[in-house]
């Protein structure tokens, strides 16, 4: 076995021999799945179901609020005053969540009180305010003009500006997909950072306990550095694949259990096109996960070589963990820069800066996944592959330079 393979094998064995690796392998994806369930559930349950009792002694609203009933807010009317204490305590009103008090002068003073039992979400507050306001406007309009209610509603109807990309007229590359791609790209940088720190710490430890002097009597410093990056990188990849397997099994399990109703066609009925909430739809239907996984591995490998060599050099440059922390800061800023570049690219996809960031090795993994997740066109895919090649080229160049720096510093105690 070559020395490089021996060193790489040892790195892998050391990491696999650590309990932390196996805990992370199982717990990491489980936490992610739990988070996903929580988010999906939250998205489903985001709209608060409310029963609103409107006390309208002047019968101003004429027992009517909306042309059509809202799905989650149901309105009921009484034509009398209702005291707050009575609403709170009387058995007859316990089924209502909210009391909306309209006095006879409401059209003049434009003030009403809303009493609630449980805290109202922002969405519910906005919905309630919007609907009552709209009804009030109708009533004011009818007092001060000859307009019919229908004519007034037509006047008030807002314009819908539906922005469409000429290259994507059906609006298939949705923003949600872009954000999902951003999360995947950021995940690459997160994992690179996490295992980059492992490279850093392992290098510092080897230097501090002087095993490096024994090793360098047998292998070249560059060989030692590359084997460390490769070994730890393979372990990181192994963990990622493990995560992918556990996550796939978990998603399948969720599909068959927790989200069974949303996947059962018999439950779809007339609401078939909206059978999933946007997040469920994104995770289970819109993202091409195997395609993304393949590119994830490619970008991860290139990014790991790129950043790994920098972490190794910093480790060689440091004489103790604490000493090395200060040198890590610029590197952490670089990782953060990549993530912020992704956010910028989502908001400003067609600027010159975004184009530059697409090819810049620090940010290209995140930007590439934004493109890929949206469903890359031929041009987009070519751009992504070109950015991958640039990242790989930069990684190889950096490895060569880092090898020299590593050699210069590793024996300075």
Interface contacts to other proteins, rule CB under 8 A: 1, 3, 6-7, 10, 14, 17-18, 206, 208-219, 411, 413
Compute the distance between CA of residue 338 and CA of residue 180 in angstroms, rounded to an integer.
Answer: 16
| Closer residue to other proteins, CB minimum distance, 56 or 206 | 206
| Closer residue to other proteins, CB minimum distance, 163 or 413 | 413
Nearest distance, CB of residue 4 and other proteins, angstroms: 10
Nearest distance, CB of residue 214 and other proteins, angstroms: 6
Q: CA nearest 307: which of 268, 337, 276?
A: 337
Nearest distance, CB of residue 312 and other proteins, angstroms: 17
- 286's CB contacts (< 8 A; 6+ apart) are 174, 176, 177
Nearest distance, CB of residue 311 and other proteins, angstroms: 19
Cα dist. 84→54, 101, 111, 311 in Å? 12, 9, 16, 64
Q: CA nearest 316: which of 218, 194, 190, 403?
A: 403
Nearest distance, CB of residue 6 and other proteins, angstroms: 6
| Closer residue to other proteins, CB minimum distance, 2 or 377 | 2
The H or E element containing residue 74 is strand 73-78
Residue with tokens 């556990």: 246
Nearest distance, CB of residue 310 and other proteins, angstroms: 23
Nearest distance, CB of residue 197 and other proteins, angstroms: 18
| Closer residue to other proteins, CB minimum distance, 353 or 411 | 411
Compute the distance between CA of residue 199 and CA of residue 316 in angstroms, rounded to an integer.
Answer: 10
| Closer residue to other proteins, CB minimum distance, 159 or 413 | 413
| Closer residue to other proteins, CB minimum distance, 137 or 213 | 213
Do the Cβ atoms of 345 and 160 come closer than 8 Å? Answer: no
Cα dist. 19→14, 26, 238 in Å? 10, 11, 15
| Closer residue to other proteins, CB minimum distance, 117 or 205 | 205
**Residue 110: left if φ>0, alpha if ψ -120 to 50, beta else—which one?**
left
């Amino acid at each position: 076995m070559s020395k490089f393979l021996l060193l790489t094998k040892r790195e892998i064995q050391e990491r696999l021999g650590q309990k932390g690796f196996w805990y992370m392998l199982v717990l990491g994806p489980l936490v992610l799945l739990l988070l996903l369930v929580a988010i999906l559930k939250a998205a489903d349950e985001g709209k608060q179901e409310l029963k609103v009792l409107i006390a309208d002694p002047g019968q101003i609203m004429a027992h009517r609020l909306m042309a059509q009933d809202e799905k989650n807010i149901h309105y009921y009317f009484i034509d009398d005053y209702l005291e707050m204490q009575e609403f709170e305590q009387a058995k007859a009103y316990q089924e209502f969540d909210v009391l909306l008090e309209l006095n006879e002068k409401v059209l003049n003073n434009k003030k009403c009180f809303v009493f609630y039992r449980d805290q109202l979400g922002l969405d519910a507050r906005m919905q309630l305010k919007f609907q009552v306001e709209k009804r009030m406007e109708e009533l004011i309009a009818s007092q001060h003009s000859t307009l019919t209610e229908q004519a007034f509603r037509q006047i008030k109807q807002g314009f819908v500006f539906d922005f469409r990309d000429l290259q994507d007229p059906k609006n298939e590359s949705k923003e949600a997909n872009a954000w999902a791609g951003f999360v995947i790209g950021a995940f690459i940088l997160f994992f690179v950072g996490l295992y980059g720190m492992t490279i850093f710490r392992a290098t510092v430890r080897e230097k501090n306990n002087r095993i490096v002097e024994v090793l360098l009597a047998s292998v070249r410093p560059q060989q030692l550095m590359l084997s460390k990056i490769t070994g730890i990188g393979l372990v990181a990849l192994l963990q990622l694949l493990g995560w992918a397997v556990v996550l796939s099994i978990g998603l399948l399990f969720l599909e068959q259990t927790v989200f069974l109703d949303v996947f059962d066609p018999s439950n779809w009925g007339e609401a078939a096109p909206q059978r999933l909430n946007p997040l469920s739809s994104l995770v289970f239907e819109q993202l091409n996960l195997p395609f993304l996984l393949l590119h994830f591995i490619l970008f991860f490998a290139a990014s790991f070589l790129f950043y790994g060599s920098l972490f190794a050099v910093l480790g060689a440059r440091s004489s103790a963990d604490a000493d090395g922390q200060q040198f890590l800061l610029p590197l952490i800023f670089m990782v953060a820069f990549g993530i912020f570049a992704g956010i910028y690219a989502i908001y400003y996809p067609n600027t010159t800066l975004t184009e530059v960031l697409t090819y810049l090795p620090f940010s290209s993994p995140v930007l590439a996944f934004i493109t890929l997740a949206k469903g890359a066109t031929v041009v987009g895919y070519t751009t992504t592959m070109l950015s991958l090649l640039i990242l790989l080229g930069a990684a190889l160049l950096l490895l060569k330079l880092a090898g020299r720096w590593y050699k210069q510093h590793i024996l300075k105690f």
